[in-house]
Amino acid sequence: MNGESDDRLHSAFQLMAQAASSNAHHTDLIFLTVFVVCGAVALGVAFTMFWFCVRYRHGSGAVHARVGTHRPLELTWTLVPLAIFIAGFAWAAHDFVSLYRVPPGATQVYVVAKQWMWKLQHRNGRREINELHVPLGQPVQLLMTSQDAIHSFYVPAFRLKQDVVPGRYTGLWFTATQLGEFHLFCAEYCGSQHSQMLGRIVVMQPAEFAKWLGSGTEQPSLAQYGFARFRELGCSGCHAAGSTVHAPSLRGLLGRTVHLQDGRTIVADENYVRDSILQPKKDVVAGFDPVMPSFTGQVSEEDIQALIAFLREGAVP
């Protein structure tokens, strides 16, 4: 990647923060186009008004007379903006949709926001506070929830932002295209220290990132930790294959289509797993009794994220 030359280029142009993600360039292109078009319109209107004010000021030599209706003109300046607007909408909408299509093979990082800090955990268990190390050129998917108020994960250099909401997971994915460190801001007002809830994204070469990820204090991976909780909380008591209690199997759960008791069909995702742990009577699987107890109060947000990681990649009994 020609990271270094881009660095020099971007430091010379200070208007926007350096573009450091694969989608940032698309956003910047639309922005530049919209800016030019809107700027032209604004200047055009301003100039026309100014010109008319000068030319038709009272007492000037110009013709001062009533003006009739001019339907073709009115229709033109109605339909031309309409066409431009539809085009603008479509272009930005197209880019927007791709922001929500996570590429396969993206690495998950779990994020818990709380007043007034960011807690992040990589799959192998490595934790970070207010910092996120990521490898250059590889897609990363953030699965985020809040412990208290609504926060928002904002990286201006990536041109990306996603609100982090209590009670559910929201997601954000990116592929970093520049080495370096970039601001992480909280962008949803969340109380006293909202403006001090700062962090940074550190983009490293993949090899260095792997080294960094492997170092740090010895601790179990997220999935291993999730397995430990799975046993401690007694999940396998009902959900394991050999159990006497009739409970749905959890193998390969994430991404599977599930038929619910009330006739609905959903695709099991992170939010479904979280709801099933905390509010098991919400979406009961068809053919099963609603006997699963709730684990509210017994599991933290990190525990739930670990359990999800375990279900995703562990050896589920």
Q: Does 78 bind another protein (CB under 8 A)?
A: yes
CB closer to another protein out of 50 and 207: 50
Q: Does 114 bind another protein (CB under 8 A)?
A: no
Q: Which stretch binds another protein (CB under 8 A): 235-243, 247-255, 278-286, 304-312?
A: 278-286
Residue of 5, 11, 12, 67 that binds another protein (CB under 8 A): 67
Q: Are 161 and 152 in contact (CB under 8 A)?
A: yes
CA distance 241 to 310: 16
CB closer to another protein out of 16 and 254: 16
Q: Does 266 bind another protein (CB under 8 A)?
A: no
Q: Does 38 bind another protein (CB under 8 A)?
A: yes
SS3 109: strand
CA distance 305 to 234: 17
CB closer to another protein out of 30 and 240: 30
Binders of another protein in range 192-211 (CB under 8 A): 192-196, 198
Residue of 111, 113, 160, 273 that binds another protein (CB under 8 A): 160
CB closer to another protein out of 54 and 210: 54
HEC assignment per residue over 171-192: EEEEEECCCEEEEEEECCCCCC
Q: Does 134 bind another protein (CB under 8 A)?
A: no
Binders of another protein in range 226-265 (CB under 8 A): 261-262
Q: Does 82 bind another protein (CB under 8 A)?
A: yes
> Of 108, 174, 175, 115, which Cα lies nearest the Cα of 144?
108
| Residue type for position 229 | R
Q: Are 112 and 145 in contact (CB under 8 A)?
A: yes
Range list of H helices, 70-178: 71-99
CA distance 134 to 240: 36
Q: Does 83 bind another protein (CB under 8 A)?
A: no
**Angstrom distances, CA of residue 267 to CA of 244, 279, 283, 285:** 27, 17, 12, 12
Number of chain residues interacting with another protein (CB under 8 A): 87
Q: Is the peptide bond before 116 cis (omega within 30 degrees of 0)?
A: yes
Binders of another protein in range 138-157 (CB under 8 A): 148-150, 152, 154, 156-157
Q: Does 77 bind another protein (CB under 8 A)?
A: yes
Q: Does 167 bind another protein (CB under 8 A)?
A: yes
